[in-house]
Amino acid sequence: MYPFKIHDKRSLKFEENNGFTIVEFLIVVAIIGLLITFMNPLSNFVTQKAREREGSLLIRSLLEASALFFSEYGKNPSDYKDLSKYISVRACKTLNPDMCKKMKSVTPQSSNKWNSIDGNYLIIMDTDLSYYSKFYAIPHKRSSQKKAIFGCVNTKTNKRKINIHNNNLHLLKFHSFC
């Protein structure tokens, strides 16, 4: 009944226990299984938020470069070459994240539209505005990112705004909230 035997009144000796019983082992496995089950959705949520943050940081750096260009030249940048005076503007040849991991980055092939270096976004630079610089990061079908990101900066006041959207069409049609 007790885990020890009394051999004499002066010493107590514990019985040797040589491991877990099958019931104890199954309980431990069940608890670990429950923890994994509850952690998987949380892990997916954290991963998705990290990807959103990655796109937001990309747009933020483009906005910063645009504001710096305006402060030095008194006009908005007209293409990626103007931005590359302040940040490294690199691209991937394809919109495929798996391929971009294996390829070297290149200079953008179009002046106002290029693939992000990781292959998750199509970056569009809107240069038709006199006081605003606008950038769109639009995920493609094979991207692990599902939300589009819009950013703009009023280059006169240096006021910036970044918005994340679930719908790419909404992003392109209704982007006048800068």
Model confidence pLDDT, tens digit, residues 87-110: 999 998 887 788 888 888 898 988
- Measured in degrees and rounded to the nearest 5, phi and psi for residue 85 equal -75, -20
Q: What residue ranges do the domains of the chain occupy?
A: 21-75+120-173
How many other C-beta atoms are found inside a 10 Å radius of the C-beta of residue 127? 15
Task: Report the distance separating Cα 107 and Cα 102, nearest Å.
Answer: 16
DSSP string, 34-80: HHHHHHHHHHHHHHHHHHHHHHHHHHHHHHHHHHHHHHHHSS---SH
Question: Which residue type, as a one-letter code, is found at position 84?
Answer: S
Task: Report the distance separating Cα 38 and Cα 17, nearest Å.
Answer: 33
pTM: 0.70
What pLDDT, on a 0 to 100 scale, did the predictor assign at position 143?
74
What pLDDT, on a 0 to 100 scale, did the predictor assign at position 102?
87
